[in-house]
Amino acid sequence: MSDTNSESEQIGFQGLEAEPLLRAGKIVTLPAHAVLCQQGQTTDRFFVITAGEVELAKSIAGKARPLSTSGPGSVLALMAALDGEPCAVSMRTLGDTTVVEITRGSLLALLDPEVAADSNLVHDLALVAIRRLRAATDELAQTLFQALRASPRAGRIDVAKLARIQAGNHAWPCAKLAA
């Protein structure tokens, strides 16, 4: 067990129980500009970055806009993989990147109470999701209130700010989750 924890620390899973994910997923090394998930399309798998960087971007007014980058420990596209709805942003690697790729089927198996009872994974995932929900609603409220109060351009909302909230919903920085 201690070996697994040590390995988890090295590859950036701090705060999220890594062993079940490592066991259920497949380690994939990708070159620069590899697409993990395309805006508007569904996916049946999600990713945990173990090395490298992934850029999140969105097409707005016909132009692709970079929104944020995610590094080791980040969980990408989990919501889309689980609920089967389209991803609101696109994700592509910026350089050589290693991820753990986990399919929806594998995740559902891990979430089964018979399996989940033996680990902290479900609890950890719920914790990350709750914090993301709180952050997203706060960011959204602040963005709209600022737009309404802004002068002389009151009522104008920066579209990229809204898109960045969406990006945050699809990339969870689990490395910051130390309890």
Partner 1 sequence: MFCIDPAPRPATVVASVETTVLELGRDDLLKMRRDAPRAAAALVNAVFRNVLSRIRSVDDRIERDLCPNPDASPSDGKALLLPDRTDIPDPWEVCFARLRGSA
Task: Select 6 or 149, whichever has its Cβ closest to partner 1.
Answer: 149
Shortest spacing between CB 115 and partner 1, in angstroms: 8
- Beta-ladder partners of 102: 46
Task: Select 11 or 107, whichever has its Cβ closest to partner 1.
Answer: 107
Interface contacts to partner 1, rule CB under 8 A: 58-63, 79, 82-83, 85, 88, 111, 113-114, 116-118, 122-123, 125-127, 129-134, 136-137, 140-141, 144-145, 147-148, 153, 155-160, 162-163, 165-166, 169
Distance CA 62, CA 55 (A): 18
Shortest spacing between CB 47 and partner 1, in angstroms: 17
| Residue 53, C-beta contacts closer than 8 angstroms, at least 6 positions apart | 69, 70, 71, 93, 94, 95, 97
Q: Quick one: 131 exposed, middle or buried, by C-beta within 10 A (0-12, 13-18, 19+)?
A: middle
Task: Select 31 or 84, whichever has its Cβ closest to partner 1.
Answer: 84
Question: Residue 138 gets which letter from DSSP?
Answer: H
